Every structure is written in structure tokens, then in C-alpha cells.
Structure 1
Amino acid sequence: MSLANGWTGQTASALQAALRLSHEAFAELLGVSARTVAAWHQKPDLRPKSEMQQLLDTAHDRAPVDVKTRFATLINEAPVNLPDGAAEDAEVRLSADPNMVAALDWLDHHAGWEPGTARRNVATRLAHLNVNALHDRGVRRGRVDQRHVAQALTDYYGTATDGHGTYTARFGTEAEAVTSVLTHPDWLDLDCPLVATNDRLRLTGTTPDSDIPLDETTAGLAAQRLAEMLAIGIRFVNMPLYRLLDIAVGKHTIGGAVGLTTFAGYAVTMDLLEGELIDALGNGTTPRPGSLPVRDHYMPTLPTVLDVNDRLCAGGTLALTAIARPANSFRGGPDYLLLVQERSGHVINAARRLAVIPKGFHQPLTDYRADAQVGATLRRETEEELFGRHDIDNTVNDQRHADPMHPSLLSAPMRWLTEQPDRLRMECTGFGLNLVSGNFEFASLIVIEDEDFWPQFGGQVKTNWEASNLRQYSSLDTESLADLVRDVAWSNEGLFALLQGLRRLKQIGGSRVDLPTIDWEIR
């Protein structure tokens, strides 16, 4: 068989789907590399070379009749008619965007659906979506406060055991904060410099996603999520993510093991937990076991939260950034500038919440083993979210550099900071598992110690699209910081990182810091 205009990446991928083969199995059938097969998914308009065209012709000709029938259905489906108000690029993304195609393929496979079923399911749901209603729902979600979320999850899961509990802290006598971050005394106050001798998460072999089950309910909710992402323009790139398999953290040490998963699988499974919970609270429903289908399916008990090896546990790093400033006639004595972000409504999680900055998923760029270090993600996120490195934002650009963090590519602020070892301090202050999402959270502190930095580069510190606003606080302004701790707009992981960061900054900041005692408790 020879297609009229030859094979493309899109039609080659359709043949793979019709054969129901993995990248590796399809590559073995054709006698090519799995990387070649992956490239067809990433570049649907790519036209393989003539010898590859012949291999695809042969594979199709030798395929059983039912495979040829499925293939014909996949390449001849009519375009989707979108309603008024849907995002302009939705139809293009649904049929051609390799990231959305990957998510649809993932959903077909894990739900046990025929290839193409997820696409039709999502298209049907998209046609019935009211975009204005989705935006209204986003506003309602933003009104559900952090304390309400933390209390609801305490009620859902009950009392923790074996020394684990939710993180609570008191900021002097002025403010108390209760979070949904499940932690342990051994996981706090780590004082762990993010250097190779201390930062030792290791990458094991590639971890298959066969252990992620979908039933009829969760598969339908996954399809709904993809339709909503298309409709309101959520940025989504199917990059690899680290998933936690084992954790061994303690004083001065981050250890444990991670494997690999895909963002597509995470986005349509564990990332549904937050929205389901917030919607229930926004509608006045009290969450109880049995009332939240996604949570009941993936993470119904505290033992399932802690058993990270047997569930999908993605997550990331987030850090309180403290920048030394010289004395100022208007502001007063030397201090640390503390940065807090208001998250955009277009981010995948913690939308419209307060968070420390930087905050990002723990995922590799090009060196999968070296990038497993927590510090690797934190340095990358600092470049992207604070210093304007758009070329390492995988939601905006393809990654073509062999070493994206090579010294010659660093931003001017980051290059200056790395020229002398005493200018920049990065350390992990705590670890926890977020009951909101099931994510692992490495709370950290970034301290720029050299007060010449802010006069030289302060004007270049600018957040990216993930934040809608950036706030400044002084480490000498105890009253404003107490108000900040009391703010109910925080994400739970953000508040956890803020308090652990302030606690550590009080220990090391000297006269630049005027903070009360910050004591934590595990409940």
C-alpha cells in the first residue's frame, strides 16, 4: 500500500496505534530506533525518507484486516466542529498537537479503549463545554481558602500514624498555619546544601506506567480534563517527569530513587485530585471517603499516600528566594528581599494561589541521571522563572541544546552568581507529601548573599507566564510577614516552603533578619 502523498509522522503514528504497539515494539517491527518512532509523534508533518516509506508500506501490507480497518478509521476521521467560545487552536491541537495526541494515546491504552476512542470522547465533551462556565469555575476555585482545604483533607484521611502527620507551624505568637503537607520530624530542618555530596536522588531504570489503573469513571474524568485544557488554553507539554519510588531523607541528606513517567499520564490521573477536591468544597460539599471518585480510586488512605512505589507520585521543588540588599535611606538597614508569586490561572496546579518562587516540576532536561538531583531542577527553575531564560521553558520552545545549563548559556545574573562560590546558597529545608495532589514536595531556600547583586541585576528579575504578579517583602518587616503567613490564598506546599525557609533564614541571616521564633508541629 502507498498513500497518495506518502507517509508522514502522523500517518505512521496512526499505523502504530492501529497495530497497538509500543514505541519499542513498533520500532522493532520496522527495524528502526525507538527514537525515530518518537520523532513521528513529535513532528506529525515530518516525511520519512524513501527507505522508511517502503518499510511502512510493507508493515501496512502485512497487517491483518482488522488492523487495516482501524488504520483507515484513524486517518479518515472527519474534523471536529467546535462550538463558539472554544479556543481557536483546539481542533488543531486535538488532531495535530503531538502533546495532545500523546495524551489521547495514553488514555486509549490505559482505559482499554480502541485507538481513536479517546479523541472522539474528548471531541464530544469539547463540543458541549461552556468556556465562560469554566472561567467562572476557576474564580470559584480561587475563593476556596487554604485552611478549608487543609481541614477537609484532615477530615477525609483521619489521624496519621507512625510519626507522620500534617505540617503545622506557629509564627511567633501572631500566626498559626495548618497545611495539608504530610511529613515526619526526620524530614524537616534538613539543612541540606544542594550539592552532589548531599543531593543524591538516583535514577533507576525507566518505570512503565502499566501500574496506573483507569476504570470507567476515572477514564471519563480524564477525557473531560483534556477537553477543558483545550478549551481554556492550559499549557501542556508531554515531557518526561520523575516519579518517586523511594525516599530516604534526613539531616544534610536527600536520598532515594526516582523513575520516569510522562506528563500526559500525570495530567489525566493524579492531577485531577486537586480540582475534584476544590470543586467539592466550592459547592459546599463536605468531602468524605466514597464521595470523591478520583481520590477514592488513586489515593484513598494515608498508607496509599505513603506507598509512593505503588502509585504515581510526581512532584517538584519550590524555594523561598532571599536576596541580600544594602542599607537604603528610604527602606532602612540591610535586609533580605523575599519574593512571593501569585500563580496564573493557566498553570497546571496551584492556579491563582500564592506560592514561593521558583516552583517547578522535578523533571529532566537532557541528562536524565544528573538532572535527578533536586538542585538541578531548582537551578533551572531559577533561570526560567526569575532570570528570563525562555529557551529552557519546555511549554514555549523545543529543547535543542545538548547542555541547556552550560555556563556559556547562563543568564547574566546566574553567571555572575556562579563566578564566586559564596554568592549563592541553595539548600533543602524540608520534604513532604502533599495530600492535595499526592505530589512530593522538596521545600528549599535560595539565598543570594552578595548585596551587590540587587543593585546590578534587580531590574532583570522578572517572572514568566506562570505568575500573574510578584510581591516583595523585607526580612525586617515582621508585621507584614505575619500577615503573609495568615493569608488564606496560599497553596499548601507554598506555605510549607515559606515557613521552613523563614525558619532557616532566621538561623543564618544575622542582623539582616528580624523574625520571631517559628516552631513546627506534626499533627
Structure 2
Amino acid sequence: MVGVRRRIELVSARKAAGLTQEKLAEVMRVDRSTVIRWEAGEYAPLPFQWPKLARVLGRSTDEVRDLIDVRQASGPLTLGSELGPAFSWLDRHANWTPGTTRSRVEAQAPNRRAAQVADRRRVGEALACYYGNPPADHAMYQARCGQIEVQTSILTRPEWTELLCPLNFESDRVALVPDVEQPRRNVDEGAAVRRLAEAAADGVRIADVPIYRLVQLEAGPSSIAGKVGLAPFVEYALTADLLERELTDRLAAGKQLRAGSVPLRDRYLPDLAAVLDPSGRLCAGGVLALTAIARPADPNRGGPDYLLLVQERSGRVVNAPGRLAVIPKAFHRPLADQRADARIGATLRRELEKELFGRADVDNTAGGLRAADPMHPSRLSAPMRWLTEEPGRLRMECTGFGFNLVSGNYEFASVVVVDDEEFWPRFGGSIEANWEADGLRSYSTLDGDLIAELVADEAWTNEGLFALLQGLRRLSEIGGDRVKIPTVELSC
């Protein structure tokens, strides 16, 4: 009855504030169906929305938390509701009696994962020891930013670091291949149960949504052509996503990375031939972008510049919790139209809406979609609508591609540039990170010293640093006097 009482209290709080469901949805910049589901107790507003909801309802954040925090209200029931699809998937895959996974997870919980950030150079050396020398025309992505040497574990090629591909219909030609024959993937049930126990303890969201797995890619100057199939995200979360934890645990124990000593890597990503053959494995991937927004001169800040945005990842995300990353950062996956959404730009536009412009209704990890076309022009946020009203206001380019040896993921590094200074005075106050980030950092392209310090931060993810450096290279080419940063020179 606690959950029912709290749902009634949320409805009462809305009415006491003089708001209809439609008006609350408008103010919170969500769909009315989202408000209906909040009040029905199907799921709660995400943590990043609590402060704004508190202001709208005239309550404190703690009062709002008491009204809508389903996780606190329902206790152990959250384990079933948020991770239920993952439990069911593992039961089926392991041929267990329904409910077995849940029982085994409950027997292990609480089992919180400790945040570990291994030195990038040490990780690179360990992976080089495991995989040996890259094949001809491939190299690990390395760069110098001013006096700072950067080493990553992104396996790339010269032509992949010089893409400069506009993410438009002509150049962005990644296509869905139906009925792809998927390779058989064996699951380590013990490791999967431990992963789910950690997710339950940390409140990590493992959604039952499809993601695009890479089958084939042809990337060159000014164009990307590729083929993708579909795979369940939960399968990725319980297989390939376990590789990074295994790697960091072994390094933390002072042990070397060798074939035969890391059973999950030996199983899922045993050699460079497997890395470079995405069709033979579950090769999930990401689209991530350095976002740069032009700002006019300011008496306190100085001359015209670009604002660069960096996120501190939330502990509730599956990928790179507690790490630094560019924003947006997302798995490449469909939203509503599986064929149309296969293009890289489709994921990037959706993530701008979700991660920066407040569109919670395009986050299908929180529940099924109800809109036939969530990215229809009439549904766009005010910032995105303004950016797309006239050509040239929004520049999106893919700046690089590579395979992440830490995880086996494919990574599309990109840059999002807003060159029109009018955008910042109009919409700068509306930009706010969503639940996937614990914090949002801002940097000016006129502050080369701070950007150099940022590049040197060990908290970066491999893929995030790859996108940051590729984005800085591109901004130096197109930004003119707005950009005064250390030169980025590739050494890969």
C-alpha cells in the first residue's frame, strides 16, 4: 500500500500546484504519457529531474524524493522490475527454471562494484602483451596534445582518423541487414550473476532494448558505409561488457594479461582476428561526440569562443560508470524505426535531445515508447527545433572510427558544432545533463591550459579521449580565432 499512497500523493501535489498533467508535461519537457506513468507508479522520474520537479511543485527535493522514489518505496521489488528482463534472459539462456537467476542474485546482493580507473598506459601495455603487434595498416590511437603524450587502446587505421564525414543522408550510409545469422555466444553464468548482483546493488539500469551490432564497415574520407544487425542489450551487458572489469581486476591484483589467464577475454575476444571480424562476435558500439557551442564575447569570459561540454558518468550506467566522457555518449541503437535509425546521425540527434535538451520521452530504457515517431519535428525540444529550422545551424561530423580493445566495442567519434552565436543566449540555460551523468563540466576553447589539464586526466574512458582529441583537431581547423588550444598531433 505504500506505493499506492505515494502515487496518490504525487497526484495531489500536482493538483495543489495548480497543474494539469498536460501542463506538468510541458514544463518538465516530457510527453503527457510520461506524467501519466509517473502517477500510475509504472516508473519514477529520473534523479536528474527531481530538482526541477521540486521547483515546479513548490516542494523541497527531499519531499519530492519521498513522493516519487519508487526504488526506496518498493525496496526489493525494484530488483525484479528493473532487472527482470535480464533475469528472464539468463534463465532462458542457461536453461534454468524461471526465477533461478533472481534467487541467485538475491543470494549475492548487496555486492557493490568498486570503481577502478586503471592507468591508460598500463592498460595499453597489458593489452599489447595479450594481443601482440597489430596487423599492417593498423595501430593503437596515440597523440600528443601540446606537451602531453596520450596513449589509448583504440585500434584504428590512418584513414579512420581522417574521416571528416558529414552525418547526412548522402555520406552516412550505415544500413540494417535483416535476418543476420548471429554467431553462437556462450555465457559464463557465474560471471553474469555477479554482474547482475552488482547492478542490483548500484541501481544500474540494464534495459531489454535492441542495439546495433556491427557486421561490416567501409569507412573512408567523407563517407561511412556499413552493415549492422540487431542484438539484445542485455546479452551484451552479460557477455562482452564483462571484459573491462576482468581486465581492471587482474591489473589491480598485479597480474599480467596472458592467454589462458583471463577466461572471459579468452572466450569473447581472444585475438586481433576476432577484434577485426565483427560479424563473428557480438560487436556492440557507441556514438559519442564532442559538443562545441559558439558563444559571443563576454566582459568576464573574454572574446568569442566555443563552450565544450564534458560529463562525469553516473554510477547507474552500464558503460564507464564514474569516468569522464564527452557528451553525448550512447550505444548505437534504434529508437522507433529500426531501419532509419541505423544511421550514425540518428543516434547522435536522439542523444542530443536526451542527454542535453531534456527529452526524457526518447529514453526507451525507462519503459516502452508510445509515440509513433518520437523524433517528429513537432515533438522536438525548443533547442533542437531551432537548430534544425535552418540549414547550417547544426554541424555533425564523424571524425574517427576504431575498435576498443578494452571491450571489443566499435566507436564512432564525432563532433557536434553550433556556430550560430544566437543559440547560446536563447537556449544556454536549458542545457542540462540527464540521469546518465553525475556532473557536467564546461570548458572554453580560449583556455588552452585547462584543456591541456583535461586531456591529461586519467579518469577518461578510452573512447571518450579518442572523441575529445579528434574533436579538438577538427575545431582547430574550423574554429578560427575562437580556438586557442594546444596542437593535437597524431602519432599512431
TM range (shorter): 0.7 to 0.9
1 CA distance for matches of 2:276 and 2:150? 23
String of CA shifts for 1:15-70, please: whole Å, max 9, x gaps. Answer: xxxxxxxxxxxxxxxxxxxxxxxxxxxxxx9xxxxxxxxxxxxxxxxxxxxxxxxx
2:378 maps to what in 1? 408
String of CA shifts for 1:377-428, please: whole Å, max 9, x gaps. Answer: 0000000001110111123243111110011111111111111111110000
2 CA distance for matches of 1:200 and 1:268? 30
2 CA distance for matches of 1:288 and 1:384? 40
**1:220 is the counterpart of 2:184:** no
1:107 maps to what in 2? 90
Q: In the alignment, which of 398, 403, 418 is matched to residue 448 of structure 1? A: 418
Q: Is the 8 A contact 1:126 1:228 kept in 2?
A: no
1 CA distance for matches of 2:305 and 2:79? 50
1:465 maps to a residue whose letter is: W
Secondary structure at the residue paired with 1:138?
coil
1:185 maps to what in 2? 158
Compute the displacement of 1:106 (Å): 2.9
Compute the displacement of 1:289 (Å): 1.8
Secondary structure at the residue paired with 2:162?
strand
2 CA distance for matches of 1:459 and 1:482? 27
Secondary structure at the residue paired with 1:360?
strand
2 CA distance for matches of 1:203 and 1:442? 17
Q: How does 1:233-248 map to 2 (within 5 A)?
A: 233-248=203-218
2 CA distance for matches of 1:457 and 1:449? 14
1:259 maps to what in 2? 229
Compute the displacement of 1:345 (Å): 1.1
2:18 maps to what in 1? none
2:143 maps to what in 1? 169
Compute the displacement of 1:483 (Å): 1.0
1:83 maps to what in 2? none
2 CA distance for matches of 1:157 and 1:343? 29
Note closer, same or farther for the CA distance 1:208–1:261 as it changes in structure 2 (3 Å cut).
Answer: farther
**1:198 is the counterpart of 2:168:** no
Larger radius of gyration: 1
1:439 maps to what in 2? 409
**1:372 is the counterpart of 2:346:** no
String of CA shifts for 1:152-179, please: whole Å, max 9, x gaps. Answer: 222221211121121001113x111100
Secondary structure at the residue paired with 2:86?
helix
2 CA distance for matches of 1:159 and 1:89? 52
Compute the displacement of 1:91 (Å): 4.5
Compute the displacement of 1:122 (Å): 4.3
Q: Is the 8 A contact 2:83 2:205 kept in 1?
A: no
Compute the displacement of 1:209 (Å): 4.7
Compute the displacement of 1:94 (Å): 5.4
5+ unaligned residues in a row in structure 1: which ranges?
A: 1-44, 46-85
Q: In the alignment, which of 106, 111, 114 is matched to residue 138 of structure 1? A: 114
1:180 maps to a residue whose letter is: S
TM value normalised by structure 1 = 0.78
1:254 maps to a residue whose letter is: I
Note closer, same or farther for the CA distance 1:170–1:318 as it changes in structure 2 (3 Å cut).
Answer: same
1 CA distance for matches of 2:266 and 2:78? 31
Note closer, same or farther for the CA distance 1:198–1:290 as it changes in structure 2 (3 Å cut).
Answer: same
Secondary structure at the residue paired with 1:200?
strand
Q: How many residue pairs align between the two structures?
A: 423
Secondary structure at the residue paired with 1:170?
strand
Q: How does 1:78-117 map to 2 (within 5 A)?
A: 91-93=76-78, 95=80, 97=81, 100-111=83-94, 113-116=95-98
2:375 maps to a residue whose letter is: M
2:491 maps to what in 1? 521
2:472 maps to what in 1? 502
Compute the displacement of 1:145 (Å): 3.3
String of CA shifts for 1:442-470, please: whole Å, max 9, x gaps. Answer: 00000001011111111100000111111
1 CA distance for matches of 2:158 and 2:258? 28
Q: Is the 8 A contact 2:110 2:200 kept in 1?
A: no
Q: In the alignment, which of 388, 395, 411 is matched to residue 418 of structure 1? A: 388
Compute the displacement of 1:362 (Å): 0.5
1:123 maps to a residue whose letter is: S
2:156 maps to a residue whose letter is: T
2 CA distance for matches of 1:344 and 1:367? 28
1:129 maps to what in 2? 109
Note closer, same or farther for the CA distance 1:305–1:339 as it changes in structure 2 (3 Å cut).
Answer: same
Compute the displacement of 1:121 (Å): 4.3
1:430 maps to what in 2? 400
Q: Is the 8 A contact 1:355 1:491 kept in 2?
A: yes
Compute the displacement of 1:186 (Å): 1.5
Q: Is the 8 A contact 2:139 2:157 kept in 1?
A: yes
Identity %: 55
Q: Is the 8 A contact 1:167 1:182 kept in 2?
A: yes
**1:153 is the counterpart of 2:138:** no
1 CA distance for matches of 2:400 and 2:264? 28
1 CA distance for matches of 2:192 and 2:72? 19
Note closer, same or farther for the CA distance 1:122–1:402 as it changes in structure 2 (3 Å cut).
Answer: same
Secondary structure at the residue paired with 2:491?
strand
2 CA distance for matches of 1:346 and 1:198? 35
Q: Is the 8 A contact 2:85 2:207 kept in 1?
A: no
Compute the displacement of 1:237 (Å): 1.2
Note closer, same or farther for the CA distance 1:89–1:225 as it changes in structure 2 (3 Å cut).
Answer: farther
Secondary structure at the residue paired with 1:428?
strand
1:465 maps to what in 2? 435
2 CA distance for matches of 1:114 and 1:466? 32
2:359 maps to a residue whose letter is: R
Q: Is the 8 A contact 2:202 2:315 kept in 1?
A: no
Secondary structure at the residue paired with 1:395?
helix
Q: CA RMSD in A?
A: 1.9
Compute the displacement of 1:123 (Å): 1.7
2:244 maps to what in 1? 274
Q: How does 1:261-340 map to 2 (within 5 A)?
A: 261-340=231-310
String of CA shifts for 1:74-131, please: whole Å, max 9, x gaps. Answer: xxxxxxxxxxxx9875743555x3x7443334324433x2442xx3244234323344
1 CA distance for matches of 2:119 and 2:102? 31
Note closer, same or farther for the CA distance 1:222–1:451 as it changes in structure 2 (3 Å cut).
Answer: same
TM value normalised by structure 2 = 0.82
1:104 maps to a residue whose letter is: F
2:30 maps to what in 1? none
Q: Is the 8 A contact 2:90 2:101 kept in 1?
A: no
Q: Is the 8 A contact 1:339 1:356 kept in 2?
A: yes
2 CA distance for matches of 1:250 and 1:210? 27
2:200 maps to what in 1? 230
